[in-house]
Amino acid sequence: MASKVQEIGKLISGSLLSGLEAKLNEDINVEGISVGRLVIVDGKENKFFCLLKDVSLEATNEDILLNPPSDDFARQVHAGVNTFYKLSVQPMLITAQNPTDLDRPRPSTTVPPHFSPVCEASAEDVSLIFGSPAVTNPEIGSPIFMDVPVCLNLERFCKRSNAIFGKSGSGKSVLTRMVLGYLIKSDMAINLVFDMHNEYGWSATNEGGIDDPSLKQLLGSKVAIFTVDSNSPLYRKIRADYDVQIPYGAIEIADLELAAGELGLTQAGIETMYRLSDKWGEDRWLARFLDMDIDDFPQVVEDLKVNEQALNKLRRCLDRLKKLPFIRKEVADDTVNRIMDFIQDGKHIVFQFGRYNSMLAYILVANILTRRLHKLYVDKTDSARAEGVDGPKPLVVTIEEAHKFLDPQVARQTTFGTIAREMRKYNMVLLLIDQRPSGIDDEVLSQVGTRIIGDLGDERDINAVLTGLPSQGTLKVLINNLEPRQFLLTGFALPMPVVIDAKDYGKFCSEISLGSGIILDEIERRKTVDGLKARVFGDDEIIFD
C-alpha cells in the first residue's frame, strides 16, 4: 500500500514541551491544511509522529502588514518571503527511520533537528502506529483526510474503564455500536449494555430516520436481549431473550438515594427509609411500606418515632415505583443469576427498557443489577484467586447517561464509582457513554483508560473530558474542531491521540455480520422463546420480519 508522501514544510523552531513549529512550503495551499492531521517529521535517525495543532499567519516585516500587497502578483511574490504560514505540531511518538519488527513507536523524548522535513503521514506510518486491522484490532475509522485504517487495540481497551463522549448528533451512538460490535465479535470480553434509548438491540433509527441494523440483528445468537417490558409491541415482534423482574427485596436504600432526583426524595425521606429498614428488615421494609394502608400511618409514626409528614411524603414518592410493573413483590427467577448463566455461556446482554425508558427505571435497574453482579464478580474472582484458577470472564458494562451514576455527590458510594476506580481488579470494567461529561466525578474521569471524544459544545464538558490527560491544550483545539462523525481517540488503547472520521456504518455491518446462518438461528431462537411464552401466556401471533 505504497503512497506518495508530500513534504508540507520545514521545521524551524519549538520544543518538546510546547510543540514544534514548521514553515509551510510555498507550494502548499494553506486551506488544505487542517488541525488534527497526522504529520511526520523526518529526523536524521528517527521519525517523529506528530499531531497538527495549529496553523498561523506570519510576516517577517511589520511594513507589509501596514501596506498589504494590492494585487495577486504581489501577494504571490511576497508569499514565502515576507509572509508565510506556520504550522504548530505536537510530537507524540518516535520510531527509528527503518524500524524492525521489534521497534514499536515509543513516546517522544527529544526533538528532530532544525529544518527537518515535515510530511503528511503515509498509509505505512499510520499502520505502523495503529497496527493492521484484525479481529482484536478492528478498524474503527480513518485519520481525517486519509483513507487508512485506524485500529483500536481491544486487548488494551478491555483492561481499563473507557468512555465515549459526545453531544447528541455527534455520531456517538453509532460509534458505540461499532465498538460494542467489535468487542462482541472478538470475544475479548462479555458485554452487558444498559441500553436506555433502544439503540443497541435489534435495530436503531439513524439521523435520516431509517432503521439501521443493530447488534442483535448483526450478531444473532451471540447477543441476548433482556427487557423489563416484554409486552411492548417491539418485543412481540423481535422476542426478547429474557423478561426481567426485580423483587422489592432487591432494592436497597442506596439505589433509591441514587434516584432521589427522579423520585423527588428529600433528606428527611431518606432518613425515614433508614429508620423503616432498621425496624422492618432490609429486604422487607419496602414491600411492607408500599402495601400499608395510609390509615395505619399514625401507628407507624408512634412505633418508629418518625415524622408523619415525612412518612406521607415518602409514600407519595415511593408510590412511583408501583408504576414500574417489572418491580414486583415476588419474582419467579433471579435476573442476576440468569445474567451470570448467559455470561458463562459467552453471550452478550443488551438490557432494554421498552416503554419504561424513564430515568427512574433506568437508574434503578442498572444500579441494582450492576451492584449484585459486582458482588458476584468480586466473590468469584477472589475464590478463583484462592484456588489458583481463572476468574470469571472479563465483563464490560456499558452505561448511558453515565453522569447520573458518577456524579461527584454519589460516585464515591455507587457501584459504578467503585468499578471505575478499582479498574479491572475484578475483571469488570465500564464503558461510559455520556453527553454531559462535566457531570462525572473527576476522580472517575482520571481513571478512564481510553476516551473516544466526539463533538462537545460546552467548554466545561471539554475541560472535563481532558481531565488527567497530557497535552491538554493541543487536544482541546482538536475537540473544538470536531465535526459530526469525527472523533478524537486518546488513551490506553491508542499509541497516540488521533482524530478520525468514524467508519461507515454500512461497512461495519457487512464486516461484522455473521452471514445468512444468522437468519435461521434467529428463527429458531424466536420459536423457542415463543414456545416458552405459549406455555405461559397461550398462543400468540408469530411475526417474522
Partner 1 sequence: MSERIGEIIEVYTTRFLAQADGLDNPPHFGSFVKTESQGMAIYGLVYNVHETSIDPSRRAVAFGIERTELFKRQPQIAEFLKIEFEAAIIGFNDAGYTRAYLPPFPPRIHSFVYPCEKQEVLDLTEDLEFIRSINALPGLPIEELAAASIRLACAEREGDRAFLVRAGQEIAQLLKDEYEKARSIIRRISDGE
Span of 60-68, 311-319, 329-337, 405-413 interacting with partner 1 by CB under 8 A: 60-68
Q: Which long-range contacts (CB under 8 A, 24 or more apart) does 377-386 make?
A: 377/426, 377/427, 377/428, 378/426, 381/425, 381/426, 381/427
Asked if 60 is part of the footprint of partner 1 (rule: CB under 8 A), the reply reads yes
Q: Cβ 87 to partner 1, closest distance in Å?
A: 21
Please state, in angstroms and rounded to a whole number, the distance separating the CA atoms of residues 438 and 427.
27
Q: Which of 64, 253, 518, 542 binds partner 1 (CB under 8 A)?
A: 64
Asked if 25 is part of the footprint of partner 1 (rule: CB under 8 A), the reply reads no
Asked if 394 is part of the footprint of partner 1 (rule: CB under 8 A), the reply reads no
Asked if 516 is part of the footprint of partner 1 (rule: CB under 8 A), the reply reads no
Please state, in angstroms and rounded to a whole number, the distance separating the CA atoms of residues 164 and 174.
11
Q: Which of 25, 82, 277, 358 binds partner 1 (CB under 8 A)?
A: 82
The number of angstroms, rounded, from the C-alpha of 508 to the middle of its chain's C-alpha atoms is: 18
* Residue whose CB is less far from partner 1, 69 or 117: 69
> Rounded to whole angstroms, what are the CA distances from 83 to 54, 77, 78?
17, 9, 6
Among candidates 245, 270, 237, which has minimal Cα distance to 540?
A: 237
Asked if 74 is part of the footprint of partner 1 (rule: CB under 8 A), the reply reads yes
* Residue whose CB is less far from partner 1, 75 or 316: 75
Asked if 78 is part of the footprint of partner 1 (rule: CB under 8 A), the reply reads yes
Q: Which of 67, 100, 109, 267 binds partner 1 (CB under 8 A)?
A: 67
Q: Cβ 58 to partner 1, closest distance in Å?
A: 13
14 in Cβ contact with 111 (< 8 Å): yes
Q: Cβ 83 to partner 1, closest distance in Å?
A: 9
Span of 63-71, 234-242, 288-296, 385-393 interacting with partner 1 by CB under 8 A: 63-71
Q: Cβ 10 to partner 1, closest distance in Å?
A: 16
Please state, in angstroms and rounded to a whole number, the distance separating the CA atoms of residues 353 and 99.
51
Q: Cβ 85 to partner 1, closest distance in Å?
A: 16
Surface-to-core class of residue 246, CB atoms within 10 Å of its CB (0-12 exposed, 13-18 middle, 19+ buried): buried
* Residue whose CB is less far from partner 1, 71 or 291: 71
Among candidates 412, 484, 423, which has minimal Cα distance to 450?
A: 423
Asked if 57 is part of the footprint of partner 1 (rule: CB under 8 A), the reply reads no
Secondary-structure breakdown of the chain: helix, strand, coil percentages, each rounded to the nearest 5: 40, 25, 35
Q: Which residues contact 46 (CB under 8 A, 6 or more apart)?
A: 94, 95, 96, 97, 112
Span of 65-73, 197-205, 309-317, 411-419 interacting with partner 1 by CB under 8 A: 65-73
* Residue whose CB is less far from partner 1, 115 or 274: 115
Q: Cβ 441 to partner 1, closest distance in Å?
A: 56
Phi and psi torsions of 383, nearest 5°: -70, -35
Asked if 63 is part of the footprint of partner 1 (rule: CB under 8 A), the reply reads yes
Three-state SS string over 442-511 comes to HHHHHHCCEEEECCCCCHHHHHHHCCCCCCHHHHHHHHHCCCCCEEEEEECCCCCCEEEEECCHHHHHHH
> Rounded to whole angstroms, what are the CA distances from 247 to 195, 280, 328, 330, 365?
21, 16, 5, 6, 11
> Rounded to whole angstroms, what are the CA distances from 522 to 109, 230, 353?
54, 17, 21
328 in Cβ contact with 245 (< 8 Å): yes
Q: Which of 15, 27, 34, 77 binds partner 1 (CB under 8 A)?
A: 77
Residue 479, all three cell numbers: 475537540
> Rounded to whole angstroms, what are the CA distances from 499 to 1, 146, 451, 487?
21, 11, 12, 6
Asked if 81 is part of the footprint of partner 1 (rule: CB under 8 A), the reply reads yes
Asked if 80 is part of the footprint of partner 1 (rule: CB under 8 A), the reply reads yes
Asked if 29 is part of the footprint of partner 1 (rule: CB under 8 A), the reply reads no
Q: Cβ 12 to partner 1, closest distance in Å?
A: 16
* Residue whose CB is less far from partner 1, 29 or 100: 29
Q: Cβ 23 to partner 1, closest distance in Å?
A: 14
Q: Which amino acid is at 453?
A: I
Q: Which long-range contacts (CB under 8 A, 24 or more apart) does 457-464 make?
A: 457/167, 461/165, 461/167, 461/435, 461/436, 461/437, 463/438, 464/437, 464/438, 464/440
34 in Cβ contact with 24 (< 8 Å): no
How many amino acids of this chain bind partner 1 (CB under 8 A)?
A: 15
Q: Cβ 74 to partner 1, closest distance in Å?
A: 5
Q: Cβ 77 to partner 1, closest distance in Å?
A: 3
327: which DSSP letter? E
Q: Cβ 81 to partner 1, closest distance in Å?
A: 4
Asked if 115 is part of the footprint of partner 1 (rule: CB under 8 A), the reply reads no
Q: Cβ 67 to partner 1, closest distance in Å?
A: 7
* Residue whose CB is less far from partner 1, 59 or 96: 59
Please state, in angstroms and rounded to a whole number, the distance separating the CA atoms of residues 19 and 21.
7
Asked if 357 is part of the footprint of partner 1 (rule: CB under 8 A), the reply reads no
Q: Cβ 129 to partner 1, closest distance in Å?
A: 37
Q: Which of 69, 247, 391, 394 binds partner 1 (CB under 8 A)?
A: 69
* Residue whose CB is less far from partner 1, 65 or 519: 65
Q: Which of 56, 61, 110, 312 binds partner 1 (CB under 8 A)?
A: 61
Q: Which residues bind partner 1 (CB under 8 A)?
A: 60-61, 63-64, 67, 69, 71, 73-74, 76-78, 80-82
